[in-house]
């Protein structure tokens, strides 16, 4: 069964193009659900990668360096296949894949390499994916603790009301 990208619950089918649990509009790509308006997730992932490489090349320069992989030729097709593998290793969670790619560019332990292709990124990507999953689990734990604290505060007796 497909997993909703917003509420992360397994659903049997969409209702009016949206998740029946949370109502988030979703599109289907190769049997997996992705946010509506994303288009092809592999192309969106590759475009995000191109943007991050361009940002890295533009650092400390007055003019932005546009980085793109030529759309004609075999390299682009190979990059799309690798993007599909990266999505598959993240259980088709597009946001987690983007977070892992961002860690590769932002984390001081991993950003020392010049990255201009997805072809040789998988070794470091697995490490970044583990870090992204840990960051997500930490954020969920923090959110749950905040909700528990808020619930405890709201359950207290109001001694100032009459």
One domain for residues 9 and 48: no
**Domain contains 161:** no
Overall domain count for the chain? 2
Please indicate, yes or no, if residue 18 is contained in any of the structural domains: yes
10 shares its domain with 63 = no
Assigned domain for 162 exists:
no
SS3 21: coil
101, 141: one domain? yes
The answer on 97 and 120 residing in a single domain is yes
Please give the pLDDT value at position 153: 87
Query: Residue 134's pLDDT is what?
Result: 95
Claim to verify: residue 97 and residue 145 sit in the same structural domain: yes
Torsion-angle region of residue 9: left (phi > 0), alpha (psi -120 to 50) or beta? beta
Q: Are residues 47 and 66 in the same domain?
A: yes
Q: Is there a domain that residue 107 lies in? A: yes
**Same structural domain for residues 68 and 54?**
yes
**What are the residues whose beta carbons fall under 8 Å from the beta carbon of 39, sequence distance 6 or more?**
none
Q: What is the mean pLDDT of the chain?
A: 86
Task: For residues 121 and 131, state if they share a domain.
Answer: yes
Q: What is the DSSP string of 26-86?
A: EEEETTEEEETT---HHHHHHHHHHHHHHHHHHTT-SS-------SSSHHHHHHHHHHHHH
84-98 pLDDT, tens digit per residue, is 999 999 988 889 999
Q: Which of 40-44, 92-96, 133-137, 153-157 has the highest mean pLDDT?
A: 133-137
Range of the domain at 92: 40-154
Average pLDDT, integer, range 24-30: 78
């Amino acid at each position: 069964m497909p997993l909703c990208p917003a509420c992360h619950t397994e659903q049997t089918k969409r209702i009016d193009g949206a998740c029946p649990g949370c109502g988030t509009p979703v599109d289907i790509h190769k049997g997996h659900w992705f946010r509506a308006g994303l288009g092809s997730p592999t192309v969106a992932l590759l475009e995000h990668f191109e943007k991050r490489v361009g940002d890295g090349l533009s650092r400390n320069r007055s003019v932005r360096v546009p980085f793109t992989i030529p759309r004609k030729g075999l390299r682009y097709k190979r990059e799309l296949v690798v993007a599909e593998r990266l999505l598959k290793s993240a259980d088709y969670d597009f946001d987690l894949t983007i977070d892992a790619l961002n860690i590769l560019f932002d984390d001081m332990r991993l950003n020392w390499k010049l990255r201009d292709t997805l072809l040789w990124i998988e070794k470091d990507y697995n490490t970044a994916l583990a870090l992204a999953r840990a960051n997500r689990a930490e954020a969920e734990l923090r959110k749950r603790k905040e909700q528990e604290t808020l619930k405890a505060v709201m359950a207290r007796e109001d001694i100032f009301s009459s």
